[in-house]
Amino acid sequence: MWFVTQKRVRDLEVRADRHDQKFDQIITAIGGLRTDMTAEISSLRTEMHGLRADMTAEINSLRTDMTAEINSLRAEINDVKVEVARVQGSNMALNEKFDLFLQGRLIPAATQPPNVAAA
């Protein structure tokens, strides 16, 4: 019986060694995956920083373009305001003359016939 028990113990030791080998393989594989993941994370971070820099540059470019467009539109709006003010002033002057005309206080200028040269 002692012989059977000793064989059984050896079988258990062999199985334990196989399990240890499998655990070592798993730990090695996990270490390789960790290295791969670390490299991938580093690569992704580098890519993310590049994309962030590109995005920041694009946003700054858009801000510059937008600021230039806003300034251009403001200038156009100011030009239109000036033109509207001129038209309003001209319209007011014409309305005042028309009111004076209706009141009979403004008589249209007499028109002289054109000089006709004797033929």
pLDDT, one tens digit per residue, over 47-101 is 999 999 999 999 999 999 999 999 999 999 999 999 999 999 999 999 999 999 8
pLDDT band at 116 (very low <50, low <70, confident <90, very high): low
Output the pLDDT for position 7: 87
Query: Do the Cβ atoms of 67 and 58 come closer than 8 Å?
Result: no
Q: How far is CA 47 from CA 20, 40, 54, 57, 66, in A?
A: 40, 10, 10, 15, 28
